[in-house]
Amino acid sequence: MKLGPEDLAKISSGTLEHYDQRAPDFWRGTRDHDVSQNIGELLGHLEGAPPFTILDFGCGPGRDLQRFVELGHRAVGLEGSRQFAAMAREHTGCEVLEQDFLRLALPAAAFDGVFANASLFHVPTQELPRVLGQLRAALKPRGVLFSSNPHGHNEEGWNRGRYGAYLDWDTWRGLVTQAGFAELNHYYRPPGLPRGQQPWLASSWRA
């Protein structure tokens, strides 16, 4: 069933309210998560000489934003949650764009890489072609998109107060390639575990 404008507005407002109400707890629960594999995946595919300009799409309270800065890159955050955006600015000193994922206003060809760690799954599947196209337009030629999403069997809907789309690899690959990206790599996380214990699907793409 196609989602209308009112449905999409409710999805955005409900999901963001969930995060706003739990921002301090979320920060305490995630600030020590090790996503160095994902950061290395993005940086390893970037072409040219560093430092690179990275958009941390759905930067949350700023954990990975800070890491990109520590590695010597220029990092810009994008976050829909007002609480998270404020926390990210305070923790990192970086510019953080406060934007709803479904109402993006990004500069063209501005970023070497987009790091979308645990964020794009909040975009309803019907809106992903548009949002992915906007991210591609924000990348410089041959820039790289990295994404990591919880995968599933193409179900979507509300889950514990947040809206999510849990796509399998074939569906996700089809959507990203249709948006004009070329596949670079994909893998499941955490590493070293049976597939049934790897809830995250990570992938990298060339614009």
User: pLDDT per residue over 14-48, tens digit each?
Assistant: 999 999 998 888 778 777 788 999 999 999 999 99
Decide if pLDDT at 111 tops 80.
yes
| Every domain of the chain and the residues it spans | 5-206
CB atoms within 10 A of CB 125: 17
Euclidean distance between CA atoms 162 and 189, whole angstroms: 21
Span 81-93, average pLDDT:
95
Bridge partners of 155, per DSSP, are 166
Q: Global pTM?
A: 0.96
What's the helix, strand, coil split of the chain in %, to 5? 40, 30, 30
Mean pLDDT of the chain: 96
H helix intervals, the chain? 5-21, 23-30, 36-45, 63-70, 82-92, 128-138, 169-178
Name the strands in the sheet holding 74-79, side by side, starting at the edge strand that comes first in the sequence: 96-98, 74-79, 53-57, 111-117, 139-150, 200-206, 182-189
Give the angle subtended at the CA of 61 by the CAs of 90 and 71, to the nearest 5°.
80
**pLDDT for position 51:** 98
pLDDT category of residue 157 using cuts at 50, 70 and 90: very high
Whether 143 and 111 have beta carbons less than 8 Å apart is answered as yes
CA 201, chain centre distance (Å): 12
Q: How confident is the model at residue 178 (pLDDT cuts 50, 70, 90)?
A: very high
Residue 99: predicted pLDDT: 98
In whole angstroms, what is the distance from residue 48 CA to residue 41 CA? 16
Q: Quick one: pLDDT at residue 20?
A: 92
Is residue 179 scored above 80 in pLDDT? yes
> Can you identify the CATH homologous superfamily of domain 5-206?
Vaccinia Virus protein VP39 (3.40.50.150)
Question: How far separated are the first and last CA of the chain, in Å rounded?
Answer: 30
Which residue's entry shows tokens 């049976």? 194
